[in-house]
Structure 1
């Protein structure tokens, strides 16, 4: 029997190792590779046979949605399952439009991932947890971003420096930098530009 060849993409090593353990326990699956970002996914798929790509939505260099868009354009038969840490209702329309085959919350992975892979390989979609995804208003509360933090990141998105933001909001430059660090910590992102991309993608500003 031919095994289902799975490529895992996640920049969190502990998550990747956990997924490998789960899938390796099933004789029907073969984890053919593990990569850390979307660009590495594109390179790997171009060189190796893959049936299913399991993508984290937030990765450096190229995020999961951008990567999925490229894959579906170049390899329309390839199955794609998106993993996300947050129940972001606002990106669901986008991933459905791209044609992504399934979406799982990271806290539901494990046995559910094997179920999702079997289903998408049979030509169906896996969006069983969609009802658990939050509305846009609930998302803001879920991320625990304050109004002031959103004010700061909106000005960052406009290309303003920390000193310019401080002057406009009548706060200190140190306070601006603190807000930026807090947002990176809350969203588990590595720099302010990733925060800007995140809040824009999810229509939080």
Structure 2
């Protein structure tokens, strides 16, 4: 029986999503059952969690997305982690503007995506190739990501969801004493994590410098 693909595209730029849709519809329309879209974390979460009876075969994920209103899902990386946990058979292709080696490495470790492309290097052909390769059970990484994998960056910076939530709420101006209301950890644990973050980012000054460095690396 022919498999009819269920695809979800998550990106905060509707015109970009429409471009991806047109490319796939022109080249593999006979294989596609549906292409759903979501433009923020809340919409994507609703689509993903409501698909349990008929999970998506393939999800395209941007990383920089408007966070969920409850701030529990901050970006596409959190969505990817959720997908990996609850829908292990769903294929994930990351399409992002991020190009910082440390951020890419963190995403590779936390999500282990089936595909990973940098938007500035994406063409209709590479999009088609990535889908075909991933659906055959192989991984497709663009040249930038492949080079990073080969180099295996030393002094790697890998942050978990707690670290990213701490950085996110600090960037919003929250006081340290209030962070346990947003991050399910004790204040001493959060303080230890913040000290570790400063060491990882080689920051000697205060929180503003930490936030600036985290933004430069694409973690906020």
Superposed pair shares fold, TM > 0.5: yes
Q: Check whether the contact 1:23–1:31 (CA below 8 A) recurs between aligned residues.
A: no
Shift of 1:10: 0.8
2:45 alignment partner, one of 42, 49, 54: 42
Partner of 2:140: 126
Q: Secondary structure at the match of 1:34?
A: strand
Aligned counterparts, 1:66-105, within 5 A: 66-97=78-109, 98-105=111-118
Aligned counterparts, 1:143-182, within 5 A: 157=171, 159=173
Partner of 1:55: 61
TM-score (norm: length of structure 2): 0.59
Q: Secondary structure at the match of 1:94?
A: helix
Distance (Å, rounded) in 1 between the aligned partners of 2:219 and 2:76: 19
Over aligned residues, Cα RMSD in angstroms? 3.6
Q: Structure 1 runs of 4+ off > 3 angstroms? A: 156-161
Partner of 1:64: 76
Deviations 1:33-64 (A, max 9, x none): 11112332222122233100001111102311
Aligned residues: 155
Structure 1 unaligned residues grouped into runs of 5+: 137-155, 162-195
Partner of 1:173: none
Q: 1:39 to 1:157 in 2, by over 3 A?
A: closer
Structure 2 unaligned residues grouped into runs of 5+: 68-73, 154-169, 176-210
Q: Check whether the contact 1:6–1:52 (CA below 8 A) recurs between aligned residues.
A: yes
